[in-house]
Structure 1
Amino acid sequence: MRFEMILAEKTLGELVAENPSRSRLFEKLGLDYCCGGKRTLGHACEAKQLFLDEVVSQLQSEVDPSTVEENPAELPLPALSDHIEATHHTYLKQELPRISGLLAKVVKAHGRTHPFLIELQQAYEPFRDELEQHMFKEEQVLFPWIRQIDSVPVAEQRPALSGPISVMEAEHESAGEALEAFRYLTDSYQAPEDACGTFRALYDALATLERDMHQHVHLENNVLFPRALAR
């Protein structure tokens, strides 16, 4: 019971930062550990009408300490910035245009019989544009500052970082809302019976995009940004 209460009082972001493998269970249960990562496990379970003791039991049984993956949250700030760029930004720069292409083909072939696809495209393209601008700002302004934070006087660090970080977090919220819209429009990525191979490839790509974005935003909102502001 004491262990259960300890976990209940930790935030979702803290729990995943301690062990990234926990993200798999949170994804399965619909617990938002990225933009919603500041909520405690107890409050998150209550909001989702989940039994806390069952979730804690699953956390213990599904995560094998001997197979815990390398944890990016343990990297120094410059290396963590590099990891986010090399892993998540590189993925997005490759995948966002590919999804646009898949979506255009599927809308052309199936938009008349599945009009929700047009709405999906109208939601996706602004999301892509905003995310590409978001990454540019991080790579050109925020991450370079974080990489040289140890050489900046402490008195100058928080004022220089707090504004850009607030903007990035607000844009993460906007991206999260778009991802929720994609999931709603696609019935949680369940392809229709008449879906062709390209249609199914689109849904698979969007589902993978959602998982990557959750990991990406978690590392920034719950690890990189708080640690940078705490210096």
Structure 2
Amino acid sequence: MSKAALKDTRISDLVDQNYVHAYVLFYFGIRFYEYSELTLAQVCQKQGLRVEQVIRELESPTHLREADLPLVSYPIDLIIEYLKHSHFLFVKHKLPYIARLVESFKAHHEDYLAVERDLKFVFPLFVEDFIEHIYEEEDTLFHYILTLERASKGTHVAPKLYYLLEKNSVQKFAMEHDAHDDEMEGIRKITRDYAVTKDTPLHIKVMYNELRDFEKSLITHARIENDILFPKAMAIEGRVKKLFFDKIKYN
């Protein structure tokens, strides 16, 4: 679509063509459900935005996905930095956007009254539990692995390292991590696996699409941790334990 055509396209049509447009517009302060009948040019004028800049963002290619990155070849500290950056994007960008979609959702139809009620109750609880989980992961698992990495290079404090090795185990972290691998099961049930038809209201299509994409991101995120981070961390842990206890034995 040409830039001129984009300017004269209604917001609802822009979003219906590509649900990602709703996410881009959201971060320009444009809630698609509040301006659905206005054109992009009209909304930009109303909001004091440069329509050219908004169009540029709407047309920009999507960011590289986690699944496309050669993370298996990365050193473990970079893998952790990447995972922490993903946590930041989840907490500061994606979840606030989806939460706003859920909060502003008005069913106006008996087929979706239960969905509105249940999502507005369950989703905030999911967000609270999810944020608590990732912050705990950063403070415990990531901290432990980075300490192991430094120790494997000869940078550690012996008493502190001994305490951490006694208290923690990468295998234990991995087993506990499995319990969080299906965090969105309840939301899938509420939305009937994000089912939509050609008659589904646009707000629900956008909301379900974002929930589905977020779940896909979580699955990829968990795969990176299970298939790449944990095996690398276990190997480092094994080397560190051998180095540490060999050193104790010969002292």
Question: TM-score interval w.r.t. the shorter chain?
Answer: 0.5 to 0.7
Q: CA RMSD in A?
A: 2.9
| Higher RCO, Cα 8 Å, sep 6+ | 1
Inter-partner Cα distance in structure 1 for 2:178 and 2:127 = 13
Whichever structure has more helix as a proportion of its residues is 1
Query: What is residue 222 of structure 1 aligned with on the other side?
Result: 227
TM-aligned CA distance change 1:70 to 1:192, over 3 Å: closer
Q: Deviations over 1:58-91 (max 9, x none)?
A: xxxxxxxxxx9432122111111011112x2122
Inter-partner Cα distance in structure 1 for 2:175 and 2:120 = 24
Return 5+ residue gaps in structure 2 as ranges.
Answer: 1-66, 152-157, 237-251
Instruction: Report the Cα offset of residue 214 of structure 1.
Output: 0.3
Query: What is residue 176 of structure 2 aligned with on the other side?
Result: 170
Normalized against structure 1, the TM-score is what?
A: 0.58
Preserved CA contact (<8 Å) 1:84 1:216: yes
Query: What is residue 81 of structure 2 aligned with on the other side?
Result: 82
Normalized against structure 2, the TM-score is what?
A: 0.54
Query: What is residue 47 of structure 1 aligned with on the other side?
Result: none
Inter-partner Cα distance in structure 2 for 1:225 and 1:161 = 13
Inter-partner Cα distance in structure 2 for 1:168 and 1:229 = 10
Instruction: Report the Cα offset of residue 130 of structure 1.
Output: 1.0
Query: What is residue 124 of structure 1 aligned with on the other side?
Result: 123
Query: What is residue 142 of structure 2 aligned with on the other side?
Result: 143
Preserved CA contact (<8 Å) 1:131 1:175: no
Q: Deviations over 1:147-196 (max 9, x none)?
A: 23233368666434327x746753552451x4233223323222255433
Percent of aligned pairs sharing the same letter = 21
Inter-partner Cα distance in structure 1 for 2:134 and 2:175 = 12
Letter in 1 for 2:87: H
Query: What is residue 104 of structure 1 aligned with on the other side?
Result: 103
Instruction: Report the Cα offset of residue 141 of structure 1.
Output: 3.1
Inter-partner Cα distance in structure 2 for 1:111 and 1:121 = 16
Q: Deviations over 1:35-78 (max 9, x none)?
A: xxxxxxxxxxxxxxxxxxxxxxxxxxxxxxxxx94321221111
Inter-partner Cα distance in structure 1 for 2:131 and 2:174 = 12
Q: Which has the larger radius of gyration?
A: 2
Preserved CA contact (<8 Å) 2:95 2:127: yes
Query: What is residue 70 of structure 1 aligned with on the other side?
Result: 69
Q: Secondary structure of 1:148's match? A: helix
Preserved CA contact (<8 Å) 1:183 1:189: yes
Inter-partner Cα distance in structure 2 for 1:212 and 1:161 = 28
